[in-house]
Amino acid sequence: MITFELSKEQNLILKSAKEFAAKELRDIARDCDEENAIPKKVLDKAWEVGLANSAVPEAYDGIGMKRSAITNVLIGEELGYGCATLATAIMAPSAFINPLIDFGTEDQKKKYLPQYAGEKFVPAAMALQENSFTFDPTDMQTKAGKKGNDWVINGVKRLVPLGSTANHFLVLARTGKDTGLANIGAFIVPRNTQGLTISEENEKTMGLKALPSSRLTFNDCVVPEADKLGGDQGIDGRRLINSIRVGNCSLSVGLSKAVTDLSIPYAKDRIAFDEPIAKKQIIAIYLANMYIETENMRWMVWKAASQLDGGKDATRATTVMRHYVNKYAMKIADDGVQIYGGHGYIRDFPLEMWLRNARTLTVLDGMIAA
């Protein structure tokens, strides 16, 4: 039986995320983009509401909301509707926290989760992307080799969110000679670990400009066996990659909905040749397709998230979802710019910023985790 009914907890967190995005994100998004900076107070407010760390169990001083990919998708969509850049910054620690909940040993959970259960924002991030235009997580170039009771990591990670301030990184690396997700290990690496170098300057990107992202270089970086996520059992690399892709796509859905919701009333009010441009057939088709494709994307993301929650292999659903969302999120953002015409290209309106953000979201992985 398929149901789209949300639980009482999910409705409450959805309402909180929606209100937070409307009150705290939308109005400051442009200033953050222009200034390449995110106010710390916004991150702290999001933390107080529990938008990134609500799944930390009560046993580790957390809120104790049920761990759910669907819940995180709901949050991601609403925050992405407010501002994809700020949403990514707010939820970046989820890519450290949620895998720790899913795969961590009891000792690892006791040691690290309480640090992310307080009322103030604590930065953390996943280090996934590598220094390659054709990056493929099944062919990881960052490698971790066993040396005595430790692991030694070598390689370079790029575009690591909050890299300049993160307390901990969850570093994904190949642990054997063979490629494939089954040979990926995840390692908890504090920022002051010897052998880890964090770039002094943030990397410059086309979109998500305000989000600080860094290059991490690992040169014989030693990580104790105790900080290999999951211990001897390790992680389910396939599930982890699927989870971060679902989370990422939820932001694109929210952004696409924002573009659609802004474009429809504009097309009704904009008069050209004595009538609203919404009455022009081509514009009407644009608007209809934008709405339809946003709905399609949402159900694909929800389907993949529900399979994750059900303990199923969501690889097929996630692969189809990612391809579809990446294609149509860009198209919707571009169509929004076209509908606004010349106004779409100037910074008085958010359309050009949303187009840049959409492009960036479609080429990155590992920013957040569902």
Residue written as token pair 């949403």: 87
Q: Is the residue at 370 inside a domain?
A: no
| Domain identity same for 147 and 194 | yes
| Domain identity same for 156 and 99 | no
CATH at 72 = 1.10.540.10
| Domain identity same for 295 and 330 | yes
Inform me whether the pLDDT recorded for 77 exceeds 90. Answer: yes
* Domain-ending residue, one of 121, 136, 167: 121
| Domain identity same for 45 and 23 | yes
Inform me whether the pLDDT recorded for 303 exceeds 70. Answer: yes
Q: What is the mean pLDDT of residues 68-75?
A: 96
Over residues 277-287, the pLDDT tens digits come to 888 999 999 99
| Domain identity same for 253 and 327 | yes
- Whether 223 contacts 145, CB under 8 Å: no
Q: Is the residue at 2 inside a domain?
A: no
Antiparallel, parallel or unpaired: β 271-272 and 196-198: unpaired
For residues 232, 233, 238 and 242, what is the CA-based torsion angle, rounded to 10 degrees? Answer: -100
| Domain identity same for 31 and 99 | yes
* Domain-ending residue, one of 121, 154, 180: 121
Q: Is the residue at 143 inside a domain?
A: yes
Q: What is the mean pLDDT of residues 156-169?
A: 96
The mean predicted confidence, pLDDT, of the chain is: 94
| Domain identity same for 306 and 205 | no
| Domain identity same for 94 and 132 | no
| Domain identity same for 113 and 129 | no
Based on the structure, what is the number of domains in the chain?
3
What per-residue confidence (pLDDT) applies to 71?
95
* Structural Rg of the chain based on CA atoms: 20
Q: Residue 174 forms beta bridges with which residues?
A: 143, 184
- DSSP per-residue string spanning 221-266: EEEEGGGBTTTTT---HHHHHHHHHHHHHHHHHHHHHHHHHHHHHH
- Whether 226 contacts 215, CB under 8 Å: no
What per-residue confidence (pLDDT) applies to 6?
87
CATH at 207 = 2.40.110.10
In this structure, the number of other CB atoms found within 10 A of the CB of residue 341 comes to 12
Q: Is the residue at 326 inside a domain?
A: yes
Q: Is the residue at 196 inside a domain?
A: yes
| Domain identity same for 248 and 167 | no
Q: How far apart are CA 69 and CA 15, in angstroms?
A: 17
| Domain identity same for 69 and 108 | yes
Token pair listed for 131:
């220094």
| pLDDT interval class at 2 (50, 70, 90) | low
Q: Is the residue at 3 inside a domain?
A: no
| Domain identity same for 207 and 190 | yes
Q: What is the mean pLDDT of residues 323-332?
A: 97
| pLDDT interval class at 145 (50, 70, 90) | very high
Q: Is the residue at 368 inside a domain?
A: no
CATH at 257 = 1.20.140.10
What range defines the domain where residue 186 resides? 125-227
Q: Is the residue at 369 inside a domain?
A: no
Indicate left, alpha or beta for 195 from its phi (over 0: left) and psi (-120 to 50: alpha). Answer: left
Over residues 237-293, the pLDDT tens digits come to 999 999 999 999 999 999 999 999 999 999 998 888 888 888 899 999 999 999 999
* Domain-ending residue, one of 227, 257, 279: 227
Q: What is the mean pLDDT of residues 155-177?
A: 96
